[in-house]
Structure 1
């Protein structure tokens, strides 16, 4: 099973308060979008996951098309959007085929939460960026949020803690373990689910791989894909934001 298919039912546990994160991220991204591309209304979120960014943006009145590679995540996003009274145009799709799947004329194309580095080669990232460029109207923009890998330790057995959550009478402990190999790393995402009353626990382990690409290299690839005025924005979102304009 795909990593995000497995993670989708548990993804909200990454955040101490997922609903609050939806509102906060939606507000932050909306502000960035309106500063960079005033009046933008039509958005294409190419890695919507369970809807963390797309729901928050749609709740602010924007028209959001929201595909993702994981059908399980898309179905969860559909359920969450319905529960929150938000309209999203959801579908399953690969960002490397974005134009064929979604057409053109969008004001902004975005991919947040370090999704682009799941593409493991510069060639695939460049292909995805060129597809994003094709999906935009003239003057529209791209917005990516990614980890700042220049600040990350490299090595093996690197533990990244997400904390402890309580839900439905259960306690969940979440952490990742990273193992680097050059500019790539494999990671295992552990979710320990404890039933305190029964004094039992179950551990789930989900695995995937990332390309620890730096933001400078991503900006170079954005320029190569045809974007102008490419730059990094700090302190406006929980990750560095990279933007460019068609």
Structure 2
């Protein structure tokens, strides 16, 4: 296997799928220098396994690979419920419009033609992460009278600072990135704690309770909604 599998949820995780070692090393170096954690795969089969194991936040995927092509990897990932929402940036030497269209229609969220500018590719990774993990790339998030500043690691409600532990902060960031979305306990465990750590699903309820208490400490309605039999949502 090509990369470490332990994922720290405090930093965005990029799955890099590239069969050329030199390209893999160069991209990994630049992604890590930008503050991302990188897990890697050398072929399509390994990519499908690593994606299932690590739940990456974005996937950089080469089209031409041994065993399973990038286009087939993309198709399979977009049919799986657990990876359907993960942005995929397709890398390809195929520059014809028909190839670009095929890649996008298969489910790729972006398409970059080789040879490419590393600076541009890093910008495209950041753009995809702003859609899925805005807090992790330094965005200021707002919902009603609640403001979450990921750079200063502060949450303010009605101009009153809230005291949140690290887990409660990650929970709040997850909710504020996608207001209205219902998160199951299992999804929150994967997103906030990570798959490599065993935590009982009831632990989620405990931390949700702490978060609710902190959010309502200075008054105001509880912004978190319990969806019976499903999970939790903001708003």
Pick the TM interval, shorter chain: 0.3 to 0.5
Larger Rg: 2
**TM-score, normalised by the number of residues in structure 1:** 0.34
**TM-score, normalised by the number of residues in structure 2:** 0.35
Point out the structure with the larger strand share: 1
